[in-house]
Structure 1
Amino acid sequence: MKQFIDFIPLILFFIVYKLAPAEVQFAGRAFEPIYCATAMLIASSIVVYGALLIAQRKLDKSQWLTLGACLVFGSLTLAFHQEAVLKWKAPVVNWVFAVAFAGSHFIGDRPLIQRIMGHAVQLNDNLWAKLNVAWVLFFLICGFVQLYVAFTFQSIWVDFKVFGSLGMTLLFLIGQGVFLARHMHDEPTGEKPKD
């Protein structure tokens, strides 16, 4: 559920981008839909993560990173009136996640995915390492795909940013579920079988 809450600002970004007229006048300046959508992305990120912070009294590190990247890249996009700056946000965030997951193999006592999911899933160290590497590859590939689409297919970039990102994430999570299901075993309950 938490992963889908993170998509709310992105979905609002998409809606504003698609519904905004060709040009919006504000404070004597004309803004194209991408800049209106970027302003919505910033505002909705502040609201969504602010509400989560109030409700949970904390944000995950990944949520802080996403919020920070949104504020930095979104603000620079609006300040310099350059949509190319915003196009770098998703790849950079994905690569930071990839580095964090990769670094956890060398820093700390457990891979990052085990720290995240270890309370819910029991796997041996070898399987945790494989799962962590899968997350590293996922974030690396997502970053490169998003960068490629953003600068090669300008006309579908916003569509891909929302639906392509969501689709890649869903496919990866389904694959992870299949992997985990193959390696999970029923825990003994301590009860004797009935005769």
Structure 2
Amino acid sequence: MSDDLDKVVTAVDAANPAPPPNAVRPNNFWLDFGPLLVFFVAFQWLKRKNPDDAMLWAAGIFAVAAVIALAIGWLRHKRLSGMLIFSTVVIVGFAALALFSGNKTIFYMKPTIMNGLFGVAVIGGVIVKRNVIKLMIGDAFTLPEKVWNILAIRWGLFFFALAIVNEVVWRTTTGDGQTDDFWVNFKVFGFLPLTILFTLSQIPLINRHGGLAGLEKPSDS
């Protein structure tokens, strides 16, 4: 049971902007998801006084919180993952564009574009023989190359699925007098459970073909 939990934590890190497995990882949950929780709380507070612009201002607060988390991560670990830097740049860029243009659609589309880019990077990495998933968690798992590619393709398709889901959600629950509440709740409490469920579904593949690095695969006898 403990090994399976380790696998879930490590594989979830592959889909989220976290340091690589061999980096120091105390309190990474708060560094990764703290800004998102700040965004949620800010939105809930701001919508009481100005529901029309609450999401825009909450996006700005989200960007500031993401930059602070990036700085804290550097001060604690003296290293930052490329995905963490990339995701922070995307958050700040989209939040700034949405805030200064007054167009919330720009921020609605951030998860679509980010997950789409992750999907392209992961599947493209398989094509050019630079498996992104293996580069990120290869120190944690021992798997044949073919299985690493299968795992990467699955993650890539999952990222594309998240992009599609986000498009469906924001296009059907916002605009035309509807509030932003459903989309904000889904952004905060929807994507993470979906990622955890997908990660759990990959454990059988990992168990069949390898396991945690440093542990011998059980004999079939």
Q: Give the TM interval when normalised to the shorter protein.
A: 0.7 to 0.9
What is the correspondence of 1:9-158 to structure 2 with a 5 Å cutoff?
9-23=35-49, 32-107=53-128, 109-154=129-174, 155=179, 156-158=182-184
Judge conservation of contact 2:35–2:65 (CA < 8 Å) in 1: yes
**TM-score, length of structure 1 as denominator length:** 0.85
Specify the alignment match of 2:216 in structure 1. 187
* Distance in 1, Cα, partners of 2:127 & 2:210: 26
Specify the alignment match of 2:194 in structure 1. 168
Letter in 2 for 1:187: E
* Alpha-carbon shift at residue 110 of structure 1 (Å): 4.0
Q: Which has the higher contact order (CA 8 A, sep 6+)?
A: 2
Judge conservation of contact 1:23–1:32 (CA < 8 Å) in 2: no
Runs of 4+ in 1 over 4 A off after TM superposition: none
CA shift in 2, pair 1:159/1:166, >3 Å: same
Judge conservation of contact 1:22–1:32 (CA < 8 Å) in 2: no
CA shift in 2, pair 1:132/1:21, >3 Å: closer
Judge conservation of contact 2:55–2:104 (CA < 8 Å) in 1: yes
* Alpha-carbon shift at residue 31 of structure 1 (Å): 7.1
Query: Which structure has the larger Rg?
Result: 1
User: C-alpha offsets along residues 14-36 of structure 1, whole Å, 9 cap, x if unaligned?
Assistant: 11111224335xxxxx9721122
Judge conservation of contact 1:77–1:86 (CA < 8 Å) in 2: yes
Q: Secondary structure at the match of 1:119?
A: coil
Q: What stretches of structure 2 of length at least 5 have no aligned partner?
A: 1-8, 17-28
Judge conservation of contact 1:42–1:71 (CA < 8 Å) in 2: yes
More moved, 139-148 vs 2-11: 2-11
User: RMSD of aligned C-alpha atoms?
Assistant: 2.2
**TM-score, length of structure 2 as denominator length:** 0.76
- Overall identity of the aligned pairs, in %: 26
Judge conservation of contact 2:57–2:99 (CA < 8 Å) in 1: no
Aligned residues: 183
